[in-house]
Amino acid sequence: MLPLPSGLADRNEPGESSAWLPDNGGPSATRGTTSEAEQADPATIVASRDHRKRALLIAWDQLSPRQRAVLILHDVLAWQAVEIADLLGTSGTAVHSMLSRARARLAQGSPAKAEPTKAKAAATNLRDAVRQRLLDEYAVAFEVGDVSALVRLLTDDAVCERTSSEIVNVGRDDIRRFLPHCPAIGECRMVPISVNGKPGFGVYRADADGVYRAYTIDILTATAAGIQAIEVLEDRSLFAVFGLPQIHRTDP
């Protein structure tokens, strides 16, 4: 990093503040004055100070040492380009070029940090959309009794566990053999719920009169590869826990 030149203190008047970034910024910053607009509007003062804080962080984190030196000497300490060029052993043209690039970088903000944030948000949105589509297809396939469609949604190592009966089916093929014998498949309505952060469904099975009554609570583990686990809770009292009625009313 370039050392600061000696004699910088001589550029301030006696008794003036030597703060790194003065409150009003710009070429007049070396005089420590505040603009009339800032004096009249506290909100402007806060916004301006926040802007300068961000600018300083970007300058320190994103600019090269020579760009930082040029920017601070010229825009903060009001040095002339010829003086900076003499100090750095370069030309005035090079100083103006570095100053231009540094100002452009400050104006852009911090894309190095913003872009990963946008990419992460996009990835999260995509993952959520894929999972929701998986859950929607699972519910439709279960309601209409499409065993083949259900099996396609499962991972190879999927597990289906019915807690009260302690019956566990392990693997896609084992679950495929069980599904045609599931009493609710093709005779139910699925109401989406969330169980401890996991997706699930309140399953209502149709009785002999065609009334959909509370049957099971199904908790799913859904990944990008498919549905990895299905936990079936056969306790109808749990419907009240999730705010679900005992009878599912369908539209006439």
Q: What is the pLDDT of residue 119?
A: 66
- Position with higher pLDDT, 234 vs 127: 234
- The structural domains of the chain, with segments of one domain joined by +, span 17-109, 120-248
Query: pLDDT tens across 3-28, in order?
Result: 444 444 444 444 443 333 334 444 43
CATH (residue range 17-109): 1.10.10.10
Cα–Cα distance between 160 and 226 in angstroms, integer?
13
Q: What is the pLDDT of residue 250?
A: 72
Residue 207 has pLDDT above 90, yes or no: yes
Query: Same CATH fold, 120-248 and 17-109?
Result: no
Query: pLDDT tens across 146-190, in order?
Result: 999 999 999 999 999 998 777 889 999 999 999 999 999 999 999
- Name the CATH topology of 120-248: Nuclear Transport Factor 2; Chain: A, (3.10.450)
For residues 214 and 202, the answer to whether their CB atoms sit within 8 Å is yes
Q: What is the pLDDT of residue 171?
A: 93
| Beta partners for residue 160, in sequence order | 169, 230
Q: What is the pLDDT of residue 70?
A: 85
For residues 247 and 213, the answer to whether their CB atoms sit within 8 Å is yes
**CA 164 remoteness from chain centre:** 39
Stated pTM of the model: 0.54
Cα–Cα distance between 205 and 66 in angstroms, integer?
73
